[in-house]
Amino acid sequence: MKKVYWIIAVLLTLISCGEGRHTSIQANGIIPLPNEIVMGRGTYILQGETSVAISEDEASQKVFRYLANALKNTSVTLKRVSQTEPGDICFLIDSLLPDEAYTLDVSSGGIKISSNETAAGLFYAIQSLLQLMPAEIYNAGRKYDGKIEIPAVNMTDVPRFPHRGAMMDVGRNFQPKEEVLKFLDLMAMYKLNKFHFHLTDDQGWRIEIKKYPRLIEVGSHRNQTQVGHCDYYYPRRFDGKEQRGFYTQEDIKEIVKYASDRFITVIPEIEMPGHASAALAAYPEFSCGLGKTYVVRDYFDVFDEVYCPKENTFTFLEDVLTEVMQLFPSHYIHIGGDECPKKAWKKCSHCQALMKREGLEDEEALQSWFIHRMERFVNSKGRDIIGWDEILEGGLAPNATVMSWRGEEGGIEAARQKHKVIMTPGDRCYFDHYQESPEFAPLAIGGFLPLDSVYAYDPTPAVLTSEEQSYIIGTQANIWGEYIQTPEYFEYMAFPRLLAMSEVQWTQPGNKNFDSFLRRLDKEFRRLDFCGVNACRNFYEVNFTGAWNESLQTYEVTMKTFCPNAEIYYAVNDSVLSPSSSGFYTKSVGLSADATVYAVVYRDGKPLGKPVHQSFVVNKATGRPYQCKPLPSAEKVNEGIGLTDGIRGYARDLRRWVIFRGDTVRVTVDLGRTMPVSKVAFASLWRPYDMLWPVSELHISTSADNKVFTSAHSGKFTYDFTPTEGTCFPASLSFPEIMARYVCLEFVYGGPCPKGYYHEGQPSRLAIDEIELY
């Protein structure tokens, strides 16, 4: 009966939704957007002593205490009264409501909130209610003495997914307990309910285990940390600063209770069988030996150090998980399972004998056997495991839930096998990726994940049937910590993208509206500021795109900002920007020559974000199509025109470069018509760790019909490799003018990786950008 009731309610919700509702509620700024909301007339005035009628159960009392604490900076005081008495605010029980669902009714006469017996819905209704109040109530520096006007509204709401998660990685870089608690507060505000706590990795072990004290004595600190990307400097650079930190079991108990008080479940992750360097530095006897010295790693990579599947190793891991499960009441225990190299197992006589005895075909099957064994232990304690999608390799453990990160394929496969799935593909859910131009942003691991891409994500692939989709229990944001060394930087990476993710997790797709979200987020930034959150401000800045306009023969630069009701002012080759001296952006700006465009966002006559700029190149190749042989192994930006898209690559951002394998790369550019050509310019990239070495030779030929080519020029290049960081090497060749429609460029690779460098003797690769013809 409960299910039928709620299906009818959801159907009515979908029917009632439309653009009008977004217009009516955007001024009230609730994130994530409730699934049914009807604005009423009038307001309720919250002031002075306010009675709250609630039942005596602990869950309802917990919600009352949370609300009272949220209003501590106002003149409102809450008085708890029995549910049988009239109250200004009434907490009601409706057993027909599903878990986490709520109704919220605000009228001039009072506030009524309903949820089922779990009271989670009460808590989420309170979050919606608080967002209807002035953001100033969060200003710790000044008490809010005014009356609080709450608009009349009626909501009926339930989340789309039961798993609405965010992951904090403290294994790579420790975050203080206070930042963990602050993040839990922020998760609660936006109705997230699963906190994935990544506690162990190669660079640190962060949880006290009483039975194995060396895990924190040795595994929780390292002498230094790499500077920049592990593949950028040659040789690697280090900061020389000791880094340490761990959570005592008392800290963990405090974090778990703090989360529980906010209806958040903490899911611990203890990595195995890989990502084990810190643990093996403390207890090397649980490795395969092989004469290695195990250390807590001070740079970031995938390492060969893995647990050896010996009986003493399983005793160790079971002991660790026993203490972990005593601290974390979560039904799920995350055991990692990702990025497990098999090199040690292939050399280990014990592993090879074990595989033979158990009839395991290969090392992938051995990993599956390892995960199955650990799952049986976790299951024996009444819990289930979550693992990254690599746990599919060699066969999925019977009761495992898969966290799909290498795209959605692993999740799709697991759902088809009727296993629960949490979708978290890197290109949509990895908040360690850049969210603004990497050329000017703080260091990130790579990739590009702006706010709108997060918001647009739908975790239920259309290739699955509706029954298969039902196994997808949710999605989460993963905030990996390789380059996040401070709480401020953690918050910069998480916000405001986590707010976009909250709407993916909570709001039905048919109810989502990005323009409405932007207007609500614009107001929500004020609350984030009062809460002391160091959110990324790209929302108030200009983002550039560009494309060649064939009919106008100009390069058209498009500018946009996420900020609503804002104006963009720009200048070409002039960094001084103001409404009086700069152009007012209304349409794309045409460029006929190389130029740098500067821009800034204004609203109500005041600049909002910082000025930004982007350089563009315009030449005979700009925007022109080309053919490559072999095809690129990576072309992540403007696929198909990345070599001629008008933006030069730079050494720090590997994503902008078009990468090739093979000793010769042939690129044929179609100029569209016959025209004179007398110069070729390009750049190639040197990053030894990535096996990227610059072009050694270039052979140029031209054609009128793309069939018969005539040699035009050739040249060899030498480079200065004394720089100790990734370097963009520009190069050019000039030759007597020739008429051509097609220009073929044969780039010869840099040969095998030289002696003394990474990957010595292996074939190098080419990274090229931007091809320019004059």
Q: What is the CATH number of domain 2-157?
A: 3.30.379.10
**By the 8 A CB rule, do 153 and 39 touch?**
yes
Domain boundaries, the chain: 2-157, 163-506, 541-616, 626-773
Angle at 190 between CA 335 and CA 32, to 5 degrees: 115
In angstroms, the CA 42 to CA 30 distance is: 18
**By the 8 A CB rule, do 191 and 507 touch?**
no
pLDDT of residue 29: 85
Element (H, E) at 454: helix 451-455
SS3 340: coil
Handedness of CA 71, 72, 75, 81 (dihedral sign): positive
Closest listed residue to residue 699, CA positions, set 709, 691, 684? 709
Q: How many CA atoms lie within 13 A of 595 on its CB side?
A: 18
Tokens 């008490």 belong to residue? 143
484-491 own/partner pairs: CB under 8 Å, 24+ apart: 484/169, 484/172, 484/173, 484/175, 484/432, 485/173, 485/225, 485/243, 487/175, 487/176, 487/178, 487/179, 487/182, 487/534, 488/534, 489/442, 489/534, 490/168, 490/175, 490/179, 490/183, 491/533, 491/534, 491/535
Closest listed residue to residue 608, CA positions, set 524, 495, 494, 522? 522
DSSP 203: T
Q: What is the pLDDT of residues 107-146, one digit of tens each?
A: 999 999 999 999 999 999 999 999 999 999 999 999 999 8
Please state the pTM of the whole predicted model: 0.94
**By the 8 A CB rule, do 197 and 268 touch?**
yes
pLDDT of residue 27: 58
pLDDT of residue 683: 98
DSSP 588: P
How many CB atoms neighbour CB 61 within 10 A?
15
**By the 8 A CB rule, do 287 and 279 touch?**
no
Residue 236 backbone dihedrals phi, psi, to 5 degrees: -60, 150
Burial 555-576 (b: 16+ CB within 10 A, else e): bbbebebbbbebbbbbbeeeee
Q: How many CA atoms lie within 13 A of 192 on its CB side?
A: 25
Q: Region of 712 please: left (phi>0), alpha (psi -120 to 50) or beta.
A: alpha
Helices (H) and strands (E) in the chain, counts: 19, 37
DSSP string covering 125-189, please?
HHHHHHHTS-GGGG-TTS-B-S-EEEEEEEEEE--S-SEEEEEEE-SSS---HHHHHHHHHHHHH
pLDDT of residue 25: 60
Q: CATH number of the domain at 626-773, out of 2.60.120.260, 1.10.3720.10, 1.10.10.10, 3.40.50.300?
A: 2.60.120.260
All residue ranges of the chain with pLDDT < 50 are 1-5, 7-23
Q: How many residues does the chain have?
A: 774
pLDDT of residue 230: 80
In angstroms, the CA 407 to CA 433 distance is: 15
**By the 8 A CB rule, do 384 and 378 touch?**
yes
CA–CA distances in Å: residue 590 to residues 559, 576, 599, 653, 757: 12, 20, 15, 26, 45
* Fold classification of 541-616 (topology level): Immunoglobulin-like (2.60.40)
SS3 287: coil
Residues annotated as catalytic are 201, 275, 339
CA–CA distances in Å: residue 620 to residues 425, 596, 628, 771: 39, 18, 18, 10
The yes/no answer on whether domain 163-506 falls in CATH 3.20.20.80 is yes
In angstroms, the CA 97 to CA 140 distance is: 36
